[in-house]
Amino acid sequence: MTTALIAEDEPLLADDLRAELAAAWPALQIVAQAGNGPAAVELALRHRPRVCFLDIRMPGMTGLEAAQAITEDWPDDAGALPLFVFVTAYDQYALQAFDAAAADYLLKPVTPERLAQSAARLQSRLAQPALGDATLASLQQLLAQAAAPAPRLRHLQAAVGDAIELVPVDDICYLEAADKYVRAVTAERDYWVRAPLRELLPQLDPERFWQVHRSTVVHIDAVARAARQDNGTVLLELRQRPERLTVSRVHAGRFKAL
């Protein structure tokens, strides 16, 4: 039996989708229902559904961010990644991106006819061999398409005691998300920046700052070497820091030469 998760912050919409799925795909078993992004990630990793219906706009984490988190934390022994279906009210340019990069999308309000079409498409996809790296590449493409351009940062403002210190972006070895803060790590010390990583990332030069995990961005000039691991991840050694950074399977494709 195929299993699924529904993530939707509006309970009435979630219940409607559940009822419509029961009619369009009677053999589908809904194993979990989440009201926000973090809960969707936790429940997906616990129940390991074959399909995840993710609302794009949810509290705590968007549907795109939840899909990335599920993909990066998916256990090696859990089998194929779930198929992601994004439920959205975005306009046409976004829908074209979803259609190209995701398993499917559903436009609110979801109609029975469109849901039946989606159910047929998903059943066809599930009957095919696991897509593996192709799924990861598509998700990475989708996340990149959703990122909005922003002015480039030259300094980060970090709280140091009662003062604010300006940390040159060029000095940063890597950035690590920590709830509402970001830990900015230089060769000499750590700084704490009061801003979520998802807000800082579009303001960094993508040629120099590579996202290697949903919670980690590395300054590529700070990397000394990279080694591919058996589980598909990559381990980075830094030039001026002793710690090693793990590149998730989503982003390991950037190190193709290994």
Q: What is the CATH number of the domain that holds 247?
A: 2.40.50.1020
- Please say if the pLDDT value at position 6 is more than 70: yes
Regarding predicted confidence, which is higher, 254 or 35? 35
- Please say if the pLDDT value at position 80 is more than 60: yes
Query: Are residues 219 and 173 in contact, defined by beta-carbon separation less than 8 angstroms?
Result: yes
Query: How do residues 97-132 score in pLDDT, each as one tens digit?
Result: 555 557 888 888 889 999 999 999 999 988 876 655
Poorest-pLDDT segment among 53-62, 128-137, 146-155: 128-137
Q: Is 137 found in the same domain as 85?
A: yes
The total of structural domains in the chain comes to 2
- Please say if the pLDDT value at position 92 is more than 80: no
The mean pLDDT of 189-200, rounded to a whole number, is 91
Q: Is 186 found in the same domain as 68?
A: no
The mean pLDDT of 54-83, rounded to a whole number, is 86
User: How would residue 214 be classed by pLDDT, with cut points 50, 70 and 90?
Assistant: confident
Regarding predicted confidence, which is higher, 257 or 103? 103
Q: Is 167 found in the same domain as 197?
A: yes
Confidence at residue 199, expressed as pLDDT on a 0 to 100 scale = 84
Q: Is 132 found in the same domain as 214?
A: no
- Please say if the pLDDT value at position 93 is more than 50: no
| Residue 224, both tokens | 């000394």
pTM assigned to the model: 0.71
Q: Is 178 found in the same domain as 120?
A: no
Q: Is 109 found in the same domain as 31?
A: yes
Q: Is 235 helix (H, G, I), strand (E, B) or coil?
A: strand
Query: How do residues 16-55 score in pLDDT, each as one tens digit?
Result: 999 999 999 999 999 999 999 999 999 999 999 999 999 9
Element (H, E) at 47: helix 37-47
Closest to 140 (Cα-Cα) out of 251, 12, 26: 251
Residues in CB range of 67: below 8 A, 6 or more apart: 52, 54, 84, 86, 139, 142
Q: Is 160 found in the same domain as 138?
A: no
Range of the domain at 178: 155-255
Angle made by CA atoms 189, 254, 208, in degrees to the nearest 5 = 45
User: How would residue 134 be classed by pLDDT, with cut points 50, 70 and 90?
Assistant: low
Confidence at residue 193, expressed as pLDDT on a 0 to 100 scale = 95
